Structure 1
Amino acid sequence: MTNKKIDVLNVKFDNLTKKEMLAALIDRVNKKEKTFVVTANPEIVMHANADKHYMAILKQADYITADGIGIVKGARILGTPIVERVAGYDLMLDLLKEADLNQKSVYLLGAKQTTIEKAVKKLKKDYPQINLVGYHNGYFDLADESILSEVLAAEPDLLFVGLGFSRQEKWILRYLEQADKGLAMGVGGAFDAYTGTVKRAPAIFIKMNLEWFYRLIKQPSRFKRMLVLPKFLVAVKKEKKNVS
């Protein structure tokens, strides 16, 4: 398995299929290696280019997946294609399946209290062999040491953090600096999707790489956020000209 990092506007993505990515992550979990996973879309890339501190955090990640189809298209424009999109939500579900098969410990952090409670209830039903060592909602101050101490004490093999970027990556970095083991991954709004609080796009939209369009239809308030995609593509084309 080769993994040549692909540079898209200064963010280095792992060029792995989802199957290869999953195998690599599970191997690290089994070896008790600390692992920082970022699932990045164009919005995250653009934010990192505008925020040096956030870019520095991303550079410390062990793996960065191409979570958005925009990243795949951008890499193709740059002449350095990424083999496939690896959606963070799908990767989380695959990791939960593996955790269930091998009785790994899991901690969930993020979302509203009602949502995280629904996620815990559903997880226990879907993955009965998982050792759920704790959960907490995402409404807390990042400087709150009590939350950090609670998760550190739980020593999860897998930690899923849904605080939204860049908040989740900042918290994960602090956590891994003190943890002895474990894979920590930012999952954004995955708990909302998992519980059905926010409906995920139908399979046909996902297959056609139009998940973003479905979200826009269902949540028109996302329009301003969606404007980052054309800005991202303009930046990619500009970068292509500069390196040509």
Structure 2
Amino acid sequence: MNETKINVLNVMFNSVTKENILNILTKRIAENKKTFLVTANPEIVMHANSDQGYMENIQKADYVIADGIGIIIGSKIIGQPLPERIPGFELMQELLKKGSESNWSAYFLGAKQEVVEKAVETIRKQYPNLQIAGYHDGFFDWDSNMIQDEIKKSKPDLIFVALGLPRQENFIAKNLAKFDKGLFIGVGGSFDVIAGTVKRAPVIWQKLNLEWLYRLIKQPSRWRRMLVLPLFLIRMLKIKLKG
């Protein structure tokens, strides 16, 4: 494994390709090693720099990978380029595929009830040999151990948490010690895409690294969130200028 880590605004990214990280995660799952993986974009990095508690939770992750072209650009600006962008949605798809091939089990936490139900239904059809350990919507009492106990009892290999930033990483970090095994990964709005309630950008937009622009066009209300990207790049330029 390539142990190189790149510091991007105090968040340490693993310098890996999608193939690298898939091989690493597959091996860890086979060995029943508990793993916390963060797929970080500029929004996550900027939020971590403004929220110390969130930063500490990100730092608990076993792996942090670059999900967002802004992270790749930022790493190039400071002369420490990360090898490639690894979209969290694509990584999730690869893990589901591998899970179906290997008879892994998976638990799905997050989104609205009808969305997570539809997503699980779709996943059952697309990945027939994947065992569904359970699922729950994202509306629950954080002080209750019901969800945590259900996950621990079902012993899933994959735990996908779609609670959005910063809730998903905070939930994982807060509860990780309660579990014995499993790959825990925050997947944002992936359940909505799988369920068909939100469409992913066409392939050409993906290849041009313009998914962010496609989402902005489709959801103009996201413009405030999109302001994070230029602010992030300005911060990276300042770091370069300081040498």
Query: TM-score, normalized by length of structure 1?
Result: 0.98
Give the aligned partner of residue 33 of structure 1.
33
Cα offset for 1:176? Answer: 1.6
**Equivalent residue of 1:185, what SS?**
strand
1:47 aligned counterpart, secondary structure:
helix
Counterparts of residues 5-20 of structure 1 (less than 5 Å): 5-20=5-20
Equivalent AA in structure 1 for residue 29 of structure 2: V
- What does 1:1-244 correspond to in 2, within 5 Å? 1-242=1-242, 244=243
What is the CA–CA distance in structure 2 between the aligned matches of 1:214 and 1:51, rounded to whole Å?
28
Whole-angstrom distance in 1 between the partners of 2:213 and 2:158: 31
Contact 1:111 1:191 in 2 (8 A): yes
Cα separation, 1, equivalents of 2:115 and 2:65: 25
Query: For 1:221, what is the secondary structure of its paired residue?
Result: helix
Deviations 1:11-52 (A, max 9, x none): 011111101110001110001011000010000000000111
- The 8 Å contact of residues 152 and 175 in structure 1, kept in 2 or not, is answered as no
Determine the C-alpha separation between the residues in 1 that align with 2:29 and 2:71.
Answer: 27
Q: Secondary structure at the match of 1:160?
A: strand
Give the superposed CA RMSD.
0.8
Q: After the TM superposition, which of the residue ranges 16-25 and 146-155 deviates more from structure 2?
A: 146-155
Which letter maps to 1:85? R
Q: Distance in 1 between matches of 2:100 and 2:3?
A: 27
Q: What TM-score do you get using the length of structure 2 for normalisation?
A: 0.98
Give the letter aligned to residue 67 of structure 2: D
Task: State the distance in 1 between where 2:221 and 2:9 align.
Answer: 27
Residue type at the aligned position of 1:212: W
Structure 1 residue ranges (4+ consecutive) displaced by more than 3 angstroms after TM superposition: none
Can you give the 5+ residue segments of structure 2 that lack an aligned partner in the other structure? none
CA distance in 1, matches of 2:239, 2:193: 34
Q: 1:36-83 deviations in whole A, cap 9, x for unaligned?
A: 000100000000001111111111101111000000000000100000
Cα distance between partner residues in 1 of 2:175 and 2:184 = 9
Q: Match for 1:67: what amino acid?
A: D
Q: Residues 90-141 of structure 1, C-alpha deviation per residue, up to 9 Å, x if partnerless? A: 0000000110000001000011111001011101100110111100001113
Q: CA deviation at 1:144?
A: 2.4
Whole-Å separation in 1 of the counterparts to 2:221 and 2:99 = 36
Q: Identity across aligned pairs (percent)?
A: 53
Residue 194 of structure 1: how far off its partner (Å): 1.3
Q: Could you tell me how far apart the structure 2 residues matched to 1:202 and 1:215 are?
A: 11
**Residue type of the partner of 2:33?**
E
Answer with 33-42 or 147-156: which moved more: 147-156
